[in-house]
Every structure is written in C-alpha cells, then in structure tokens.
Chains A and B, each alone.
Chain A
Amino acid sequence: MVILGSFLLGADCSCEYTPTCVDNINYAELCEGVYDGIYATHDTGIDTDYDLCSTWDMNTIFASGYDDSINAGNVDFSLSTVSHLAIKRRKANTFKWNTIFVKKVDKPEDFYIAGTDIFNAGSTVYQYALVPILNNTEGDYSIVEAYSDFEGLYLLEKDTIYGTTLDVKCDTQRNHSVLRHDPLLGRYPRAVYNSEANYESGTVEGYFCKFNINNKDYYPEDSFAYRQGLTDFLTDKKPKILKLFDGRMWLVNIDETSISDVEDSHWLHRKTSFGFFESGDCNSEKDLYDADLTDINSEYWSCEI
C-alpha cells in the first residue's frame, strides 16, 4: 500500500515486535548454571562470536571472566574491600614509588578522583599507579605511563605556582664541603671533609609575565602586581620546588638577599632574578612532607621511614 508516496510496512523493522522500553536497568541476576563470562556494552557493533569480548572501554557497562571473583567492574575491588585509594608516581624504569595522593573511600562517589601532580620534572616519562588500600595493605597497582613535558620554569609550593617561559636562565653549582689543608713539610695539601654537605645552589632569571592559561595571552601591563606577588612568594621563608623544562628539579629555599627585579630592554620588560640553594631531596616523601609541600602521612609513604 502506498500512502502519500511512502510504502506502508516498507521499512526494515516495520514488521518487528513492538518496541519496548525497559530503561534504567540497574539489576542483573544469574540463576543456577555454569557461566564462563558476562559482558555488557553500549557498543552494539561488537563481534558476537563464541569468545566473549573482554576489552574495557568507555562503552563497557560491566564484564567479568569469573577468574578470581564474581565482581564485574573494571577493577576487582569494591567498597567492602577498599578503605583508601592512593595515586603513586615514579620515573619510568625506576622502582621507588612516591605517594602523591590518598583519599578515604566511604561511598561509591569516592572512587572518582581528579587532581593535579605539581611535583613533576620536565622531559620525563612517569608511571602513575592507582592503588587500592585496605587497612594499610596495598592491593594491585593499575599503572599508566605519561610524559611530562612543559616549557620554562616553575617555582611552587603546595597551593601556589609561579612560572615563566620567557628569558629563562638557571645556573647552578654543586657545593661540597672540603677544606684544603697545607702541610708544614709536605708538598701536597690534604683534603679535610668536616661535613657531609653536598647540595646544589644557583641563580634563576626570567621575565615573569602574567599569563592566561586558557587563551594563552600575556599581559605585560598587568604584570607588576603579579611580580609583586612573586616577590612576596619568594620571601615567605618556606621551602619550594623549583623545576625546569629540561628535567632539573630541586627542593629549595630562596636566598632572599639576592632577589632583584630590573628593567631590561623596555620598561615593561623586567627580569626577576633570585638565588636558591637545595634544602632537601625533591624525590623524598619525607623531605616534601617536612617542607609542608605534601600532606601525605608517613603511613602511606612508599619508601622506608
């Protein structure tokens, strides 16, 4: 039958069963039987072969191969088996992890974690791990790799970051405590080591200009207050992390007598410079904690105390 140029019952599914709408399905039940796996996805284009798909992606609803448990999520833990979730980070091809975030898990929403890791060196491949913890016992690590890549330098505390990519210079020297003692009779001096001190110090110079991350615009006219804030930040007497694009990173204190802000080629082009000295190990969870740069308690540190 043709009505207004269209065929009645002429489409592919015209004679199919009545469309039904069982939505918001939130319950699945398997009764007595022997099961090898279950897989649910919103991707209706998957292969419907004898072997069940086992790949998780954003369309996957639940899946289980019944290897070790009857859980069907993309991780094999649940509220009843996790008290905390931790995010850990280490340089690729190294062994020691640093715990960068810990969250107590009380309800399903707590499984969602979003945050930033500001203690990343430049030009470095890192591994990050999501670690479930139950009463201080760690579960399996889910590890991903990410490349840390940025320009310029950044100076930061726990809640504050100043950085610049303009006119960046950073010169350092290694300070090692050695005294040269000239003998009364001998030809050659003797080295006397009265201290285990062995640290780096240096100077940083850069054009610190207000920058909008979103539209990537610089605002040189509005940068005086920004640099004033930087100077206050430099003189707040707190340890800081100094990191550069090339991978150098230190836990430092600022040599506050050496801070300067001088005009360069133009009155808007002012260069800020300051000295620093290394005051701890930037890869040590303890040193970062002692410097009030992290809030991770020692019970979650990966290294030995």
Chain B
Amino acid sequence: MAVKPTIHKIGTFDANDEFAVEFAYQGSQPYTNELMIYDAGSGQLVYDRAVESMKMSHMLPAKSLANNRTYYAEICLYDVNGAVSELSDKIYFSCYTTPKISILNLNGDGSTKVTASGYDIQVSYSQEENRSLKEYIFRLYDSTGYNLLYESGTKYYSNDSGSIITCPVRGLENNTIYYFSFSGITVDNVKFETPLIPFYAEYRKSLSYSVLNVECDKNAGYMKYNTYLVIVEGKSAGTYTLDNGILNISDGKVFYDSGFNISGDFIIGIKYKSGTSITLSNGTDNITLSLGSYENKDYYKLEVSNSGLPPAVIYSQLYDKTEEMRTVYIKRIDGIYGLMVAEQENNLTVKGGGR
C-alpha cells in the first residue's frame, strides 16, 4: 500500500457542526482511515483519530475543532492487513461560525401583510468572528413558491453597508401571496440560503378602473395613454376619527373645497346618522341638509337658498328614532330638488321622501 491518498478540498465550515472529510485513494481497499488535523499557526496536533470504515470519508465530530482557526489535515489509510498508505498531502482549511441571517420585517409564518405595492425587506447579517458577507442575491417567487418572479442579480457587499441589508421589492400586486428568499456567500465562501418566507400583499385599490386609460394606435404602431384623476382632498377643522370605514366627526367639520364643480343635474347620497348638518355651497348660495326632531321622531330638512329670494325647503316624512344609519339622497333635475331617505329594516331598503 504505497499509494498516497488525496484529501478533497475542505471548504470553510462551522466547527460546531460535524463535517465529512472526503478523500480519494487508488490503492487497495482501505479498512481504516486515520485523520490528523494540526493547528496551522502552532503546528500542534489537535485531532487524531482512526476510524474503521471502507468509505472514502471521515466524519469529523462536532466541536472537535474551534472556530476562527486555520488548520491543515493529513490522512493515511490502512488495508485489511494493517499495511499503511503514504501520508496524504496537507490540505489547509478554516473554521468559522455559521453566519446568522434574519429577516427583520417578515414573519417566518407568512403572517406579514404588506400594505403597499413596494416593500423594503430588511435582512440582518451577523457572524460571530466578524467575517464579512461577500455577495448576496435575493429572489421573489409567486404564490406557488416555484415560479421565480424576480431575481436581484448578484449584489456585492461592503462593510460600509452595515449589518442591515435592504432588499427592495416593487410591483407587488394586490391580494397576492409572494415568497422571498435570501442567499449569500461569505468571504470564506460559506454559502447560505434562507428558506422561502411567504408574505401577503394587500392594499386598498383605487375605486376607479379608469384612472389610467391605455389603447393601441394600430396605424401609428404605438400605445397612447392618459390619466383620469379626480383629486378631492378632504380637509378638517376640528376633530375626527376614522375607524373601520366610519368617519366620526366629534367636533368641527370635514370639508372639501377643491377638485370638483357641480352644475346641472346631480344626485348626492350620504350614509350617516346623527349628522347635524351637511352643506353644499358655491360661495354665495347653499344647499343644506339637516336632521331635525319632531314629536320624538326624526325628519330631514333640505334648504336651498337662491340669491336673496326665500329659500326652497323640503321636509322628509317622519322616521322613528334609531341608532342605525340612514342613506339620504339629494337629487336635482332641471333645478327641481328631491329628498329621498333609505333605511335598513330587516335587510330591506325602505325608501321615503318628498319633493
């Protein structure tokens, strides 16, 4: 048995984990292998164990070595007769603690709900011996977890980046599940990859399907687009709260003073309760809807002023007092106003009103 075994290249690994040292040998069948590991700095033998095995590998038990150290290994093999091979050439390697990767703003159980179409996923990288991350890549998969939607391309890491890595994902669609993964390589060529982490994108979509219109001009060969945006910004003078789709104005008012101009026929519906007054105005004349009480019953009053002339007034019929909301409609056709009230009774819409 005079042939020399060859240890395969040993990549950097965490000494806290067991590690299989692989080797090749062209001589007669080995029955025992003896692995010797020396500290590269001091030359001191730190591991020497013979294992009876015909397999071309030697399992290095966990914690046999220490992290943040460089070693070299040699191996010799024994055949069935106990004849020993030549000692292999030295193979140098290092041990470092496995990096810790954590996704800071995604829960591993998929419970994270992203409420916008874009999201900056924060990834934290740390390594006990301060070994740097060399490069990384992040990927976004669709709801199956198989189809790759986006790959960032290889990003090179610099220490100036800090330990938090930002992974921007854009163009997330509403009501859609995505899977995120992050993988990297340290300066010691230690590779790692997070499992696929699901998250859910859900955000309020515009009420309109026509904020953007696009059509192809077939004769010109290009697409034409235009926006249709109605910006009516709500403002307040006082105190209000929004809770689960309900606006509660406890003090003052909410008003709209830009983005619209109403002339001609219109209908305005307001679903509310206990509102004291709703006013439409052009700066001179007002249309005011108010809630009144008569003989312990509710009624609605619509008052339309008209440039110094006596206002036109419309009263609704009387309604029993209730804690439920009612929907009140003000309708104008050809300058004639109507007032309609719909209330919910046993899930049926009951209408009433006058003109």
Name A residues whose Cβ lies closer than 8 Å to a Cβ of B: 13, 16-44, 46, 48-58, 60-80, 85, 87-90, 94-97, 108, 111-118, 120, 122, 126, 128-131, 137-144, 146-152, 154, 161, 163, 213, 216, 243, 302, 304
Contacts and interface: CB of A to CB of B under 8 A. Distances in A.
Q: Which 8 A-B pairs have the closest CB atoms?
A: A33-B275, A70-B234, A19-B335, A74-B208, A95-B149, A56-B208, A25-B262, A114-B226
A13 to B, nearest CB: 6
B152 A304 contact: yes
Nearest to B344: A50
Interface string B167-211: 010110110000000000000000000000000000111111111
The prevalent SS among residues of B at the interface is: strand
A74 B207 contact: yes
Nearest to A46: B267
The prevalent SS among residues of A at the interface is: loop
Contacts, number: 398
A291 B305 CA distance: 63
Contact of B336 (A17, A40, A49, A154): A17
B257 A26 contact: yes
B118 A137 contact: yes
17 contacts: A16-B336, A18-B312, A21-B306, A24-B261, A28-B256, A31-B279, A34-B246, A34-B247, A38-B271, A41-B267, A44-B332, A56-B207, A75-B229, A77-B231, A117-B224, A146-B223, A150-B217
Given A25-B262, A25-B282, A140-B204, A213 B219 contact: yes
Contacts of B203: 140
Nearest to B309: A18
Contacts of A116: 217, 220, 222-225
A29 B249 contact: no
Interface in B76-114: none
Contacts of A140: 116-117, 174, 203-206
Contacts of B171: 88, 90, 95-97, 129, 141, 302
A35 B249 contact: yes
Given A33-B272, A112-B226, 9 more contacts: A25-B280, A32-B274, A35-B247, A35-B249, A62-B232, A71-B231, A116-B217, A142-B206, A142-B212
Interface residues of B, number: 118
Interface in B128-162: 140, 149-150, 152-153, 155
B329 interface: yes
B41 interface: no
B222 A161 contact: yes
Nearest to A49: B349
B258 interface: yes
B230 A115 contact: no
A146 B227 CA distance: 14
Nearest to B141: A95
B278 A139 contact: no
Contact of A108 (B255, B259, B276, B281): B259
A115 to B, nearest CB: 6
Q: Which of A32, A43, A129 has the most CB of B within 10 A?
A: A32
Given A50-B349, A142-B205, A38 B221 contact: no
Given A27-B281, A75-B206, A70 B254 contact: yes
A130 B214 CA distance: 11
A101 to B, nearest CB: 8
A78 B266 contact: no
B215 interface: yes
Contacts of A35: 246-249, 270-272, 275
Contacts of A61: 230, 260, 262, 266, 268
Contact of B271 (A37, A77, A118): A37
Contact of B220 (A28, A30, A79, A213): A213
A116 B216 CA distance: 9
B275 A30 contact: yes
A72 B234 contact: yes
Q: Which of B225, B335, B340 has the most CB of A within 10 A?
A: B225
B68 to A, nearest CB: 34
A74 B221 contact: no
Contact of B334 (A19, A42, A111, A163): A19
A112 to B, nearest CB: 6
B292 to A, nearest CB: 13
B60 interface: no
Contacts of B223: 89, 116-118, 120, 126, 128, 146, 148
B340 A138 contact: no
B309 A69 contact: no
Interface stretch (B13-21, B27-35, B43-51, B283-291): B283-291
A50 B327 contact: yes
